[in-house]
Structure 1
Amino acid sequence: MRKGIFSKMIATYTGIIAISFVVTSAVLSFWFQNFYFSQKRSQITTEAKYVQAVAFQYIEGNMSVARVNETLKEVVAYINTDIGADIVVMDMYGYVYAVSNPKYDYLVGTQVNTKDLNEIAKNQEAIEKTVDYSEIFKKPVRLYEIPMIFNKSFEGVIMIATPASEVKHSVNRVYQIIWFSAIIAIIAACIIIYYFSQKIIISPLKNINDVARKIAKGEVEKRVNIESNDEIGELGESFNFMANAIEKSEKNRREFISNVSHEIRSPITSIKGFIGGMLDGVIPKEKERYYLSLTYDEINRLTRLVNDLLDLSSIEAGHLKLNLTKIDINEIIRFTVLKFETKIKEKKLNVDVCFNNDKVYVIADKDRISQVVTNLIDNAVKYVYAEGEIKISTKERYNKAYITIYNNGPQIPEEDFNHIWDRFYKSDKARTTKMSTGLGLPIVRSILTEHGQDINVINKKEGGVEFTFTLKLAK
């Protein structure tokens, strides 16, 4: 699991976070560069006004060149700490008449060949750029050339140069802070993601995986314990629900094997005992026919059990193919009652068959519905009291036929109602005979389910038990 979903998730989240921080850092870097230059430009423009005021004094003849340079040096001495720049003032022809740095005094009175002079004079707008101005500064600088406009007339240029290395250093320093913070944030995010992924996702999934392996090895009582109200918690609940179903299925399987073993062992033991007694001479010759008849009954019982098991297995496996045709359910009931005539007479039963109509046509598989009716009537005959009463009726309501089979035998205990459809279940020993396999009712319900119908059982207030099932009426 750690090599699969965990590594993929960490890689994905890390990639997303890294890309997000890289994009954010790039945007911040670009923004800061523009912001830095904008602030620098604003600061330099403000300081240039002081220089411009001194220059205009010179242009009007109110100040000598020496006084201009002296005043300019005083101004620069005041402002240079903030902007860290060198200032050169030139007239409209490019002649320098004032400098801020004494090392450029040799430029005073000389003409500087500036390529930007004509463009500045024409547009009367400042120019900002990074350039290697070897004619004056002998090094790369961030250059600001600000025009001096006096009475709407171009009178010269104030050239302010900031060393490019200092500008680059300041910007790079901020870049380092931004990108270093981004790297730290990415690392911290990865650690946090790793921790919470382990706690919220990976650990619960590992718990589910471990319990699943234990269940696969037969420890079906194992469950996961995940206390969260999210999808992982829902997965844990679904897993426990599945585990409960597996445990129940395993319990049913064991009970089924136990019941089958018991039901098969009983007739086989009887058969073996009867035949062994005859072979050993324990049973007298005159009694052999009697014990052979008992053996034959046990073989019939075993045959019924095997046939019922095969039928139930086929139905539950979905291998039952229904041959749906139009049949008369009343005719099937009449024929089935006739089959039980001998048993009915033996118990001196009163059987009342009541039909609203002489014929009731339904859509069903004739053989399987005959099996349903046979099992229900057989069940009624087995459990009804001697000289008791059995009532069979059919009614039509809407698009369904309702078939009811009642016997006035012992009622089913309330706690057993949910179990009478289980295989081999026998609710009360008083209602159990040796001839019952415990598979009749499960087969009945399975066949009706395949038909898309249902069956219901109730204890009547006046006593006895009533089964009612439905079938679809034929149009």
Structure 2
Amino acid sequence: MSLLAENLAERIVAMNETEQDQPLFFYEREIKTELEINPSTYIVNTSGNIVSSNRPIGPIEQQLNSSILKSDDTIQSLDIYDNEFYVVKSPIEINDSVIGWVAMVESKEKLAHVDQEYNQLAILIISLALLGWAAIYVLSKRLSKPIKDVAEAAKLVAEGNYQIHIPNESKEKEVYELIHSFKEMTKKLERLESLRTELLAGVTHELKTPVTSISGLLQALKDGVVTGDEAKEFINISLKETEKMKTMVGDLLTFNQFAANAVLVNNETHAINDIVEDAVSSWQVVQKEEEINIKVDKLLNTVRVLVDPIRFQQVMTNLLNNAKQSMVNNGDINVTLKENGERIMIDVSDSGCGIPEVEQPFIFERFFRGEKKKYNIRGLGLGLALSKMMIQSIGGDLVLLKSSAEGTTFRIILLKITANMPDQNKSNRVENEV
């Protein structure tokens, strides 16, 4: 009502400024509000006399009470015919002078009654609720179904069944990545399970072979099948097989100790040139009659490292043995020392046939043996895995630098002793951390 009164007062002023003399007519549609209220509307002069109204008879017949016009309140209440009414007024101002008023009068009873469309509102709320529920249901179905499929597949994998099929047509990025990662994990688990079974069979075979040989040789001696020099030869073969078996069992025990962090290493300060030269010389002595061309490129300056000399020699021996085994005919082995910042790198390179690319990611896996080695050279496949553990136990690392048909290069990485690192001249027992 206040807005209607103000709007009507502005229209009267506008008509006066355009000097239009036509009378003002009231149309019901212009003063009817959205709440379906049709108040009695009056135009009065400054004395309160009614100039025009939208009804011939209303709550105010001829004159508006002067006290209503003089009051500062734009909304007032009054009693007319024992009924309570509300009066809303708005001044008609021309050149900052009030020439009259627009007043609207309506009973409190009608103003208090608002006819809202409760049914439409209820339908709207219910419709929105159903739409929201439907949207949540559809989305939850799209998200829950692939997750349920992954959960069912996980149960199958836990039971040892790796032959699973999960459709991956989800458009949600996170769900797609979940299914893709699960499939990749399943493939790797299947490969590892197959590899584990194969390696277990290989280890069993490798340990069984020398036992069978020793048993057969000793049985021949016992039965007197061989005598004299031939008997001595059988005994020598049995001793060699015993040494091989003892070496394999020793490798297993050592590996288990390193894997369980139960090995203590003795770190000492050594010049890297000296310790590498000693390891190569010791290996060459063991080769005896075999001629192996090996070259060592040492550092020009003296660099000291903290290292366990026994463990380091074991690693070097294993790398040199692998290099020798990879060469069908005697070839060249190069041991090159390099310095890069705080790191010392020892590269062991050979001119052998190399490691197949498909096998390279698994060479440091325990019990892994390549196809060529599996049938030509006996062993448990622990050499590289154990070597990597040993180097890591003294704060370094062992990596495959490169391998091709022209040869293979392994790199040992050690930290050199700097000015900020205390020089340790005596043996320190350091707990192995792999």
Residue identity opposite 1:181 in structure 2 = L
Residues 54-203 of structure 1 mapped to structure 2, 5 A cutoff: 79=28, 83=32, 84-86=38-40, 117-123=66-72, 127-128=74-75, 133-136=78-81, 138-145=82-89, 160-169=104-113, 171-173=114-116, 177=120, 181-199=124-142, 201-203=143-145
Could you tell me how far apart the structure 2 residues matched to 1:343 and 1:151 are? 121
Give % identity: 17
Please state if 1:302 is matched with 2:245. Answer: yes
Aligned 8 A contact 2:9 2:91 in 1: no
Instruction: Count residues in correspondence.
Output: 393
1:344 aligned partner: 288
Could you tell me how far apart the structure 1 residues matched to 2:346 and 2:363 are? 21
Could you tell me how far apart the structure 2 residues matched to 1:150 and 1:378 are? 112
1:173 match: secondary structure: coil
Residue identity opposite 2:106 in structure 1 = T
Aligned 8 A contact 1:395 1:403 in 2: yes
| Partner deviation per Cα, 1:430-468 (whole Å, 9 max, x = no partner) | 98234x43332343344445513434455685xxx4545
Please state if 1:253 is matched with 2:196. Answer: yes
Could you tell me how far apart the structure 1 residues matched to 2:127 and 2:61 are? 53
Please state if 1:454 is matched with 2:399. Answer: yes
| Partner deviation per Cα, 1:278-308 (whole Å, 9 max, x = no partner) | 66x3745656654444443333222222332
Residue identity opposite 2:346 in structure 1 = Y
Residue identity opposite 2:369 in structure 1 = Y
1:263 aligned partner: 206
Please state if 1:364 is matched with 2:364. Answer: no
Q: Which moved more, 1:329-338 or 1:243-252?
A: 329-338
Could you tell me how far apart the structure 2 residues matched to 1:335 and 1:89 are? 117
Question: Max radius of gyration: which structure?
Answer: 1
Q: CA deviation at 1:371?
A: 0.5
Could you tell me how far apart the structure 2 residues matched to 1:134 and 1:273 are? 129
Please state if 1:217 is matched with 2:159. Answer: yes
Aligned 8 A contact 1:448 1:455 in 2: no
How has the CA–CA distance of structure 1 residues 237 and 142 changed in structure 2, closer, same or farther, with 3 Å as cutoff?
farther
1:244 aligned partner: 187
2:116 match: secondary structure: helix
1:438 aligned partner: 381
Residue identity opposite 1:454 in structure 2 = V
Q: Which moved more, 1:190-199 or 1:329-338?
A: 329-338
Residue identity opposite 1:270 in structure 2 = S
Q: CA deviation at 1:150?
A: 12
Residues 282-297 of structure 1 mapped to structure 2, 5 A cutoff: 283=225, 290-297=233-240
Could you tell me how far apart the structure 2 residues matched to 1:430 and 1:46 are? 103
With normalisation by structure 2, the TM-score equals 0.67
Aligned partner (choices 177, 199, 205) of residue 147 of structure 2: 205
CA-atom RMSD, angstroms? 4.9
Q: CA deviation at 1:366?
A: 1.4
Residue identity opposite 1:402 in structure 2 = I
How has the CA–CA distance of structure 1 residues 42 and 331 changed in structure 2, closer, same or farther, with 3 Å as cutoff?
closer
Aligned 8 A contact 2:5 2:103 in 1: no
2:318 aligned partner: 375
How has the CA–CA distance of structure 1 residues 402 and 340 changed in structure 2, closer, same or farther, with 3 Å as cutoff?
closer
Q: Which has the higher helix share?
A: 1
Could you tell me how far apart the structure 2 residues matched to 1:82 and 1:254 are? 92
Aligned 8 A contact 2:363 2:369 in 1: yes
Could you tell me how far apart the structure 2 residues matched to 1:148 and 1:430 are? 109
Q: CA deviation at 1:375?
A: 1.4
How has the CA–CA distance of structure 1 residues 88 and 248 changed in structure 2, closer, same or farther, with 3 Å as cutoff?
same
Could you tell me how far apart the structure 1 residues matched to 2:93 and 2:411 are? 108
2:397 match: secondary structure: coil
Aligned 8 A contact 2:44 2:51 in 1: yes
Where structure 1 has 5 or more consecutive residues not aligned to the other structure, the ranges are: 1-36, 50-74
Could you tell me how far apart the structure 2 residues matched to 1:377 and 1:134 are? 115
1:437 match: secondary structure: coil
Aligned 8 A contact 1:362 1:471 in 2: no
1:54 aligned partner: none
1:428 match: secondary structure: helix
Q: CA deviation at 1:376?
A: 2.6
